[in-house]
Amino acid sequence: MSDAAPIIDIRGLNKAFAARDGNPVVMALDNINLVQHEGEFLCIMGPSGCGKSTLLNILAGFDTADSGACLFRQQPVRAAGPDRGVVFQEYALFPWMTVRRNVVFAMQAAGKWGSAQAQSTVDEILERMGLLAFQSTLPKNLSGGMRQRLAIARILAIDSPVMLMDEPFGALDSLTRTKLQQDLIRVWSGTRKTVTFVTHSAEEAIYLADRIIVMTPRPGRIVNELRVTLPRPRDPTSADFNALKREVLASIGT
């Protein structure tokens, strides 16, 4: 573990949603404490409704907590920013822009455009994400996996040190999902960005993470934390992998 200050430092975070439609108040996050160091691949795993998206949205600056601290580089998170790139489950691309234009626009919006190398940076990133041959294509003519790769390409282009990912592969078929998991690990190994990745799949978390935070719902709490030291690329059919999977699932009572 690094001695450096953590890049993400969450302390005593609480968040409730008001009662509505005859439903009681939902304690979405109950005393969440979480520290993440630079370069770590962290998975937040748990069943539907345990507060994963709520936590990620607070980190991204899209929502605020009721109490507690959410620090990014030791400063309270107040708003969204290019230092925390976000990939959602549903693709959030500009449908009227080509693949290349989506990447260039993100760079312009983040103030990363205009250098002599900008065009070659786009080429390099599109190549890395397997999209160079599709640079003039509109998102509607891409497959779901390609759209998610484009969403990742945009974050790489603006060079966000942190990637916040909320079930980014949840809508994909299992073969495409496996391929994108491999792609993501390849990108992460090459860049050592800090990744905070939300999933409800124990298998996905164990395949990807250095460390897994397991949450349970109502109230949304952290109930387990596991370090995954299996060498990469990981084999989901191995005995060690399955032993970890049993432990993760047991901690959420399944």
Ligand X SMILES: Nc1ncnc2c1ncn2[C@@H]1O[C@H](COP(=O)(O)OP(=O)(O)OP(=O)(O)O)[C@@H](O)[C@H]1O
Binding site for ligand X (CB under 6 A): 17, 26, 28, 46, 48-54, 200, 220
Should residue 102 be labelled a site residue for Mg ion when binding is judged by CB under 5 A?
A: no
Should residue 199 be labelled a site residue for Mg ion when binding is judged by CB under 5 A?
A: no
Between 23 and 136, name the residue whose CB sits nearer to ligand X. 23
Should residue 57 be labelled a site residue for Mg ion when binding is judged by CB under 5 A?
A: no
Q: Which does 50 bind (CB under 5 to 8 A by kind): Mg ion, ligand X, none?
A: ligand X
Between 121 and 216, name the residue whose CB sits nearer to ligand X. 216
d(CA 31, CA 8): 16
Cα first-last separation, the chain: 31
d(CA 52, CA 188): 21
Q: Which does 61 bind (CB under 5 to 8 A by kind): Mg ion, ligand X, none?
A: none
SS3 of 48, please? Answer: coil
Between 161 and 217, name the residue whose CB sits nearer to Mg ion. 217
Between 6 and 46, name the residue whose CB sits nearer to ligand X. 46
DSSP 181-202: HHHHHHHHHHH--EEEEEES-H
Nearest approach, Cβ of residue 192 and Mg ion (Å): 26
Nearest approach, Cβ of residue 46 and ligand X (Å): 6
Q: In the structure encoding, which two tokens stand for residue 164, read together?
A: 């916040």
Q: Which does 49 bind (CB under 5 to 8 A by kind): Mg ion, ligand X, none?
A: ligand X
SS3 of 241, please? Answer: helix
Residue 130 CB neighbour total at 10 angstroms: 14
Q: Phi, psi (5° rounding) for residue 65?
A: -85, 165
Q: In the structure encoding, which two tokens stand for residue 119, read together?
A: 């065009």
Contacting Mg ion within 6-45 (CB under 5 A) = none
Should residue 54 be labelled a site residue for Mg ion when binding is judged by CB under 5 A?
A: no
Whether 149 and 129 have beta carbons less than 8 Å apart is answered as yes
The dihedral region occupied by 194, where left means phi > 0, alpha psi between -120 and 50, and beta the remainder, is: beta
- The beta-strand segments (E) located in 106-193 are 162-166
Between 49 and 82, name the residue whose CB sits nearer to ligand X. 49
Between 52 and 128, name the residue whose CB sits nearer to ligand X. 52
Nearest approach, Cβ of residue 217 and Mg ion (Å): 11
Q: Which does 26 bind (CB under 5 to 8 A by kind): ligand X, Mg ion, none?
A: ligand X
Nearest approach, Cβ of residue 51 and ligand X (Å): 4
Query: Given candidates 36, 42, 53, 202, which one binds Mg ion under the rule CB under 5 A?
Result: 53
Beta carbons within 8 Å of 148's beta carbon, 6+ residues apart: 87, 91, 168, 169, 172, 180
Count of residues in contact with Mg ion, rule CB under 5 A: 1
Q: Which residues bind Mg ion (CB under 5 A)?
A: 53
